[in-house]
Structure 1
Amino acid sequence: MESTQGLPLEVRLSAYLDGQLPQAEVDEINAILARDDQARGVYEKLKLGSEFGARAFDRMLQEPIPLDLVRNIKDAGKNEDEPPKLGIAAIPVAATPAPRRSAFWPQALAASLVLFLAGGAAGYLISEQKQTSFQVASTQFAPVRTWLDDIADYHRIYSRQTRHLVELPASDKDHLVEWLSASTGVTFAVPDLTAQKLTFEGARLLVAGGKPTAQLLYRDAENEIFAICFLKSDPVEGKTELAESMRNDIGLISWQKGNASFVVVGPSADPDLERIAETVSASI
């Protein structure tokens, strides 16, 4: 066992993995791995690469040998073992050259070792590439979060409030309309939903999708909270169709009208949620 003192850490860790270090250096590497997170990361990658290379080499050994290669090996053995035919003259035994040892197997062994080492290096590089690819893929294929996701999160929190359900109460209706219109850039009127047995409680100003968003809050006879939320968006002609979606136990029915996007939020199990959204879309 040769010392690796003074060599790069990757070389020392590779020798450590192969069990080629004296005990004193093994203890030293153990101490480094115990305290150095970066060294542990390099060690894990080298270990992964070594395991990958070993598996690849094992699979290669299990592959059937091509028949052409077998025939070539046999023919090479015959040609080397048989003395050359130089006519009918007898050749003295002492003058017959000793059969040369076939160079195939040493070359095959050397090639196998090269493949094994290359497999280890390839495994290390592949592990690096897979880790980077996984990070990129995680970023690329992560679900895109919309303003409706923010609204659902807000509703889940504020619908549980009692004393602090709203920022401005319904009694200050004129002021909250002026405030929210100026804050969001959306002109609106507070819908009267008494026919739907909903009582207007007041309003809040939120941030959804990175934009100021108004939230009008209503309560039904069973103390369930419903909300109308809207923000300024890219303008559309007329009004889009109502689109229903869910976030666990929260139902959302959204649409666009002019330069604004709207959504009615409430319990997903409520059978009247769509009817409420139709009333709001016609009156807001």
Structure 2
Amino acid sequence: MESTQGLPLEVRLSAYLDGQLPQSEVDEINAMLAADDDARIVYEKLKLGSEFGARAFDRMLQEPIPLDLVRNIKEAGKNEDEPPKLGFADIPMATLPASRRSAFWPQALAASFVIFLAGGAAGYLISEQKQTSFNVANNQFAPARTWLDDIADYHRIYARQTRHLVEVPASEEAHIVEWLSASTGVNFALPDLSGQKLTFEGARLLVAGGKPTAQLLYRDAENEIFAICFLQSDPVEGRTDLAESMRNDLGLISWQKGNASFVVVGPSADPSLEQIAEKVSTSI
């Protein structure tokens, strides 16, 4: 552990927060915080900024991964047994660049120190903001939940069902259309997805985003469950573009059309999910 004697107070307190000081300096800063109100204010702001940054970083790690990336990773796994075309050992030594010597390290250390200071300053400045979604009093950082989150939760429950997958079976198509149109306020036609090798199983009525929501359920040859869900929303002209998102292992492709919002839900790794959504968006 290196001493921070002589460095700015913010740097010393940041190292103190990170547990990077020798015990003698820890004792010194403990005494400073006990006696110096200004030092305590700076410490509390740095602590708040550090906690905010950690929570924001955790939230970033939970952001949905693009569906194309997931599919590409899974496709790459299928080809892992293919021999590499060219390995490091195949490169003639004469073509390898000469290694960088000691000039690199001072630059790297300087860059690291700048990043450290920039991170501390960012956290310090963030803690100064009054209007933020971070609730300081309750120590909360809660992103807004959407109707798609509700749909993903429902899908995980019902996709595991066997006898109780649906409320109304596919044999009652006319009743399903009449029932869900009246319940949701959205006029629709049942999409025929036999060309996509999906079999209609039936329907359910859910509540998503605080509104009655229709769920049409389909099954493929591998027994995977796909769903089409929709609810009434503010009207738009025509149809919006399809938007992809992910909730863990589920892929969701959503759009708006007329007075309704729609989403197709299925396994995130299924390469046909986008084609299914395109078919549904033009036929529902």
Measured against the shorter chain, the TM-score band is 0.5 to 0.7
2:135/2:141 contact within 8 Å kept: no
- 2:180 corresponds to: 180
Cα distance per residue 1:33-52 (max 9 Å; x no partner): xxxxxxxxxxxxxxxxxxx9
- 1:165 corresponds to: 165
Quote the offset at 1:246 in angstroms. 1.0
1:54/1:119 contact within 8 Å kept: no
Q: Unaligned regions of 5+ residues in structure 2, if any?
A: 1-25, 52-126, 128-133
- RMSD across aligned C-alpha pairs, in angstroms? 3.2
- 1:240 corresponds to: 240
Cα distance per residue 1:88-129 (max 9 Å; x no partner): xxxxxxxxxxxxxxxxxxxxxxxxxxx954549957x959x9
Paired amino acid for 1:281: S
- 1:192 corresponds to: 192
CA, structure 1 residues 144+224, in 2 after alignment: closer, same or farther (shift >3 Å)? Answer: same
Q: TM-score, normalised by structure 2?
A: 0.55
Quote the offset at 1:136 in angstroms. 3.1
1:55 aligns with 2:29: yes
Q: Distance in 2 between the 1:55 and 1:138 partners? A: 28
Q: Unaligned regions of 5+ residues in structure 1, if any?
A: 1-51, 59-114
Structure 1: 4+ residue segments shifted above 4 A = 115-118, 120-123, 137-141
- 1:259 corresponds to: 259
CA, structure 1 residues 118+169, in 2 after alignment: closer, same or farther (shift >3 Å)? Answer: same
Q: SS where residue 237 of structure 1 aligns?
A: coil
Quote the offset at 1:272 in angstroms. 0.7
Q: Distance in 1 between the 2:258 and 2:139 partners? A: 33
Paired amino acid for 1:55: I
1:181/1:187 contact within 8 Å kept: yes
Say which structure, 1 or 2, has more relative contact order (CA 8 Å, 6+ apart).
2
- 1:213 corresponds to: 213
- 2:223 corresponds to: 223
- Equivalent positions of 1:1-284 (< 5 A) are 55=29, 57-58=31-32, 116-117=34-35, 119=37, 126=44, 135-136=135-136, 141-284=141-284
CA, structure 1 residues 249+121, in 2 after alignment: closer, same or farther (shift >3 Å)? Answer: closer
More helix by share: 1
Q: Distance in 2 between the 1:169 and 1:197 partners? A: 18
CA, structure 1 residues 121+268, in 2 after alignment: closer, same or farther (shift >3 Å)? Answer: closer
Paired amino acid for 1:174: A
Quote the offset at 1:165 in angstroms. 0.1
Paired amino acid for 2:162: T
1:218/1:227 contact within 8 Å kept: yes
Quote the offset at 1:164 in angstroms. 0.2
Quote the offset at 1:172 in angstroms. 1.2
Q: Distance in 2 between the 1:262 and 1:246 partners? A: 15
Paired amino acid for 1:196: Q
1:53/1:119 contact within 8 Å kept: no
Q: SS where residue 172 of structure 1 aligns?
A: helix
Quote the offset at 1:53 in angstroms. 11
Cα distance per residue 1:20-71 (max 9 Å; x no partner): xxxxxxxxxxxxxxxxxxxxxxxxxxxxxxxx9972644xxxxxxxxxxxxx
Quote the offset at 1:222 in angstroms. 1.0
Q: Distance in 1 between the 2:250 and 2:34 partners? A: 57
Paired amino acid for 1:274: E
Aligned residues: 177
Q: TM-score, normalised by structure 1?
A: 0.55
Q: Distance in 1 between the 2:183 and 2:139 partners? A: 33
CA, structure 1 residues 138+244, in 2 after alignment: closer, same or farther (shift >3 Å)? Answer: farther
Quote the offset at 1:264 in angstroms. 0.5
Q: Distance in 1 between the 2:27 and 2:37 partners? A: 4
Q: Distance in 2 between the 1:160 and 1:254 partners? A: 22
Q: SS where residue 187 of structure 2 aligns?
A: coil
1:54/1:120 contact within 8 Å kept: no
Paired amino acid for 2:144: V
